[in-house]
Chain A
Amino acid sequence: MKIIEVENLNFSYSEEVKTIQDVSFSIEKGTYTTIIGHNGSGKSTIARLLAGLLEKESGTIKIDGMELNMENLPKIRNRIGIVFQNPDNQFIGSTVRDDIAFGLENHCVPQEQMDDIINENAARVRMTKYLDKEPTHLSGGQKQRVAIAGVLAMKPNILIFDEATSMLDPQGKDEIKKVIMDLHKEIGLTILSITHDIDEVAHSDYVLALDSGRLAMQGTPHEVFADERKIRAIQLDTPFSMKMGDFLHQHGVEVEKHLTMEGLVKELCQYRSNM
């Protein structure tokens, strides 16, 4: 079942430059999709359009079969959660507990039910110990986990991550990646992740590659990375295993394209035993 359908989407911030040009794609329910593209290619704009934070110029966006328009916006907002890049600028409450409560207050959840929802979602992102902490006493990774809990508390079925790990240190990046993977597996949420992390892309179900506001490529990671020349043309990086594959080709070892090191080494092992 298609949970997101986008057709001929157009958007621009100013008259001179088109930020999004004629973009069409659809996303299956329960999948993990990554959106890639160099900085300024329009990735974040797409995320904001899907979450109804920006108004499209033309084209259609359908979420869960409902068209995104002013009338449906409140209903659609309940289904889409978005986690942004900067950990500090999306922490609204004065403590972890208050921040998770913020969305619940907006949705008029009765006060008696809030504590249960807060506890449940804090536990999901492993922040139970920090419920009464203020943001100044939390690391970047912890703040992003709180942001995820705050969004989850509103029970969305689509989660968008807009470069949610790009301002974190390696430890924080790992924490957040693990939380996202778990959410995908355990609750079956549809995940849309804007990322530069090639490893995350390799492990996703579907990839959308943007270049100057246009959808340059889409498909499974294998399909997208098969066209190495095009990937380079839109200024994107390839996984190490593919670069290594090129070096091996130069030295007469004909390996296939692999997105992970494990896959490449596995083939090399077979290569060795077959010869």
Chain B
Amino acid sequence: MGNITLGRYIPLDSPVHKMDPRAKIMAMLLVLISIFFPAGWTGYAIIFVAVAGVIILSKLSFKFIWKAMKPMLFMLVFLLFINIFFTKTGDLWLEIGNFTIYSDAILNTLYIAVRLLLMIMITTALTATTKPLDMTLGIEDLLTPFKKIHVPAHEIAMLISIALRFIPDLIEETERIIKAQESRGVDLREGKFSEKIMAILSLIVPLFVSAFQRAEDLANAMEARGYAPGEKRTRYKVLKMHMRDYILLLGAAAILTGMILLAYFL
């Protein structure tokens, strides 16, 4: 678990951490959309500088971003190979016998790599600076207008926050069951295929049984404390937009407009 950086919250004290989650989610969406306009290298450079600025402001290290990017490298290398073999347009850059590399193969791969890097930078800047609970509050608020078309905004948010609340408990439970079955001679790493199936069953069945038990207890506890899905309720945590949040949104909107202009009008 310790090695996963993608999507993880890093508790630091920075202006970005203090921003309103709604502003951050909206800004992220705007900038993500702007990546998909064909604004060329100039456009990507602008987005990169803006996002890097936010990351510096949030006190996250670029090593952290690099760690999140690393799992994608394999995919990029794979993509490069495919492109080299199938993309035969642009200038001829290399020719050894039958083997040829054209400029578009390299440039296309680079394009995708840059887009991927930007996407990871943008999402990490959001997830690493926003507590999971604040994220759900933000999502709930942003979904509220859709209640009119019967999107259960509050229920979705409640579902996410409860899932987040019980993830550590379920991980602990899984570790405990693995240990208990290992004590009965289960070997999850080695063994024949049929043994492996049994080993996995011996883990999954108890996990389900205990998860159902937990769900029942939780439902009882929630109902006893007056929770009824769909009923009106007040909210303890109230989000408030500040100047910095408006600046962030304005910046994101400017980038989107810029990209559209670069792509179609300039």
Tell me, yes or no, whether A binds B: yes
Q: Which residues of chain A have a CB within 8 Å of any CB of chain B?
A: 48, 51, 53, 74, 77-78, 81-82, 84, 86, 88-94, 97-98, 101-111, 114, 135-136, 147, 150-151, 154
CA distance A105 to B231 in the complex (A): 11
Q: Tell me the smallest distance from the CB of B21 to a CB of chain A, in Å.
A: 14
Contact present for B225 and A150 (CB under 8 Å): yes
Task: Judge whether A90 and B217 touch: CB under 8 Å.
Answer: yes
Pairwise interchain contact A154-B235, C-beta atoms closer than 8 A = no
Residue B226 contacts which of A84, A88, A93, A154 (CB distance < 8 angstroms)?
A154
- Cβ contact within 8 Å between B224 and A89: no
Question: Which chain B residue shows the least CB distance to A115?
Answer: B236
Distance to closest chain B CB from A206 (angstroms): 23
Q: Can you name the residue of chain A whose Cβ is closest to the Cβ of B168?
A: A136
Whether B224 pairs with A81 at a CB distance below 8 angstroms is yes
CB pair A110–B234 under 8 Å, yes or no, is yes
Tell which of A84, A135, A136 touches B217, judged by Cβ atoms closer than 8 Å.
Answer: A84
C-alpha gap A94/B9 in the complex (Å): 14
Looking at the assembled complex, report how far the CB atom of A149 sits from the nearest CB atom of chain B, in whole angstroms. 12
Question: Is B221 a contact partner of A92 (Cβ separation < 8 A)?
Answer: yes
- Identify which of residues 169-213 in chain B touch chain A, using a CB-to-CB cut-off of 8 Å: 169, 213
- The residue on A at minimum CB distance from B214 is A89
CA distance A84 to B225 in the complex (A): 12
Cβ-defined contact, B227 with A111, below 8 A:
no
Interface residue ranges of B222-261 to A (CB < 8 Å): 222-228, 231-238
11 residue pairs of the A-B complex, CB under 8 angstroms, read: A51-B224, A74-B226, A81-B224, A92-B225, A94-B132, A98-B133, A103-B226, A105-B234, A108-B232, A108-B234, A111-B234
Residue of B nearest to A94 (CB): B133
* A53 to B, closest residue via Cβ: B220
Q: B87 on the interface (CB 8 Å rule)?
A: no
> Nearest Cβ in chain A — how far from B11, in angstroms?
11
B236 and A104 within 8 A (CB): yes
Partner among B165, B169, B236 whose Cβ is within 8 Å of the Cβ of A101: B236
Q: In whole angstroms, how far apart are the Cα atoms of A26 and B213 in the complex?
A: 31
Contact call A77/B220, Cβ cutoff below 8 A: no
Chain A residue, CB-CB nearest to B236: A101
5 extra A-B contacts, CB within 8 A, seeds A84-B221, A94-B161, A105-B233: A86-B217, A89-B221, A92-B225, A102-B227, A108-B234
Interface string of B150-167 (1 = CB under 8 A from A): 000000000001101100
Shortest C-beta distance, B23 to chain A (Å), equals 21
Interface of B is mostly: helix
**A74 to B224 CA separation, bound complex (whole angstroms):** 10
**A88: nearest residue on chain B (CB-CB)?**
B169
Contact between A89 and B218, CB atoms less than 8 A apart: yes
Tally B residues with Cβ within 8 Å of A: 29
Give the distance in Å from the alpha carbon of A98 to the alpha carbon of B226 in the complex: 15
- Complex contacts, B236 vs chain A, CB 8 Å: 97-98, 101, 104-105, 111, 114
Report the bound CA distance from A114 to B236 in whole Å.
7
Question: Are B217 and A106 touching (Cβ within 8 A)?
Answer: no
* Residues of chain A with a CB closer than 8 A to B161's CB: 94
Q: Could you tell me if A106 and B226 are in contact, using CB atoms closer than 8 angstroms?
A: yes
Beta-carbon contact of B222 and A105 below 8 Å: no
Query: In the complex, A78→B224 CA distance in Å?
Result: 9
> Separation in Å of the A195 CB from the closest CB of chain B?
19
Beyond A89-B217, A94-B161, whether A109 also contacts B234 by CB under 8 A is yes
Q: Which residues of B contact A82 (CB under 8 A)?
A: 224
Please indicate the chain B residues that have their CB under 8 angstroms from the CB of A74 in the complex. Answer: 226
Which residue among B165, B169, B218, B233 has the maximum number of chain A CB atoms within 10 Å of its CB?
B165
Q: Assess A105 versus B224: contact at CB under 8 Å? Given A89-B217, A89-B218.
A: no
Nearest-CB distance from B234 to chain A (Å)?
Answer: 5
| Complex alpha-carbon distance, A7 and B244, angstroms | 63
- How far is B227's CA from A103's CA once the two chains are assembled, in angstroms? 7
Q: Is the CB of A106 within 8 A of B235?
A: no
Task: Given A92-B165, A94-B164, answer yes or no on A106-B220 (Cβ-Cβ < 8 Å).
Answer: no
Which A-chain residue is minimally distant from B172 (CB atoms)? A136
Q: Are B162 and A92 in contact (CB under 8 A)?
A: yes
Which residues of chain A are near B223, meaning CB under 8 Å?
53
CA distance A148 to B226 in the complex (A): 15
CB distance from A81 to the nearest CB of B (A): 7
Known: A90-B217, A90-B218, A94-B161. A103 touches B225 (CB 8 A): yes
Q: How far is the CB of A214 from chain B (nearest CB, A)?
A: 24
| Chain A neighbourhood of B132, CB < 8 A | 94
**Closest residue to A86 on the B side, CB-wise?**
B217
Residue of B nearest to A51 (CB): B224
Query: What is the CB-to-nearest-CB distance from A61 to chain B, in angstroms, rounded to a whole number?
Result: 15
Nearest CB in chain A: distance from B70 CB, A: 28
Instruction: Give the docked Cα–Cα distance between A136 and B222 (Å).
Output: 19
